[in-house]
Chain A
Amino acid sequence: RKEVEQDPGPFNVPEGATVAFNCTYSNSASQSFFWYRQDCRKEPKLLMSVYSSGNEDGRFTAQLNRASQYISLLIRDSKLSDSATYLCAILTGGGNKLTFGTGTQLKVEL
């Protein structure tokens, strides 16, 4: 099993929809989790950090389910500008390393 797994998508959703992605991880000792957004041919940009059960920032909510070992990202009221690839990352290596998933592609359409 991969250390971090994501559904590659693409998720095609209409503008205004609510969409959720999951990211599963195999290391039950992981304590910190991150969501990054990556636009085509650009660098990843930090979207949210999850250190406890969850985090919310405007239209974006991240939740952690330790029992089932996954984190989720919920986007409400999707905008065209939300179209991107969303990468999840977990803290490993005693806090020294991030291990990334391969990303989930979101396409928001008119």
Chain B
Amino acid sequence: DGGITQSPKYLFRKEGQNVTLSCEQNLNHDAMYWYRQDPGQGLRLIYYSQIVNDFQKGDIAEGYSVSREKKESFPLTVTSAQKNPTAFYLCASRMVAVSSYEQYFGPGTRLTVT
């Protein structure tokens, strides 16, 4: 089955620790995205990548880092510099080669930092 996987589903960390969230897709999509969602707020873009070894900051990149070493993978690191890391993190991907812009989401990771 093709799709986007994110692991783990729930993640708990102590304040001051870095944590890496996994996102893998086997859809052969070119572009990948990371969003965070907080209660009562819309999805906010953290980082995105359109090709391997290249990525751009989104609207709220401070305190986060990413890498794109493989087309299938786009891990997100939440660093200790992120002031409010507790949130629902969603990874998405889309095909760039065709003239459509639909993004498809993985199941998300709920991160709780105490």
Which residue numbers of A lie inside 8 Å of B, CB to CB?
4, 8, 32, 34, 41-46, 49, 87, 91, 95-103
Of chain A, the residue at the smallest CB distance from B44 is A100
A97-B103 Cα distance, complex, nearest whole Å: 9
7 residue pairs from A and B, CB less than 8 Å apart: A4-B42, A43-B107, A44-B90, A91-B101, A96-B31, A98-B45, A103-B42
Q: Are the CB atoms of A34 and B102 closer together than 8 Å?
A: yes
Across the interface, which residues of A come within 8 angstroms of B107, CB to CB? 42-43
Q: Are the CB atoms of A97 and B48 closer together than 8 Å?
A: yes
Which residue numbers of B lie inside 8 Å of A, CB to CB?
31, 35, 40-45, 48, 50, 56, 58, 88, 90, 100-108, 110
Which 9 pairs, one residue from A and one from B, show the smallest C-beta to C-beta distance? A100-B42, A43-B105, A100-B43, A102-B42, A43-B108, A91-B101, A32-B101, A43-B107, A44-B105
- Identify B41's interface contact among A32, A41, A42, A102, CB under 8 A: A102
Across the interface, which residues of B come within 8 angstroms of A43, CB to CB? 90, 105-108
Q: Are the CB atoms of B42 and A87 closer together than 8 Å?
A: yes
Q: Are the CB atoms of A101 and B42 closer together than 8 Å?
A: yes
Q: Are the CB atoms of A98 and B101 closer together than 8 Å?
A: yes
Of chain B, the residue at the smallest CB distance from A91 is B101
Of chain B, the residue at the smallest CB distance from A43 is B105
A97-B35 Cα distance, complex, nearest whole Å: 11
A44-B41 Cα distance, complex, nearest whole Å: 13
Q: Are the CB atoms of B50 and A96 closer together than 8 Å?
A: yes
Q: Are the CB atoms of B102 and A49 closer together than 8 Å?
A: yes
A49-B103 Cα distance, complex, nearest whole Å: 10
Of chain A, the residue at the smallest CB distance from B88 is A41
Q: Which of A4, A49, A98 has the most CB of B within 10 A?
A: A98
Across the interface, which residues of A come within 8 angstroms of B40, CB to CB? 8, 102
Q: Are the CB atoms of B102 and A46 closer together than 8 Å?
A: yes
Given contacts A34-B101, A34-B102, A43-B105, 17 further A-B contacts (CB under 8 A): A4-B42, A41-B110, A44-B43, A44-B90, A46-B103, A49-B100, A49-B102, A87-B42, A95-B101, A96-B31, A96-B50, A98-B43, A99-B42, A100-B44, A101-B42, A102-B42, A103-B42
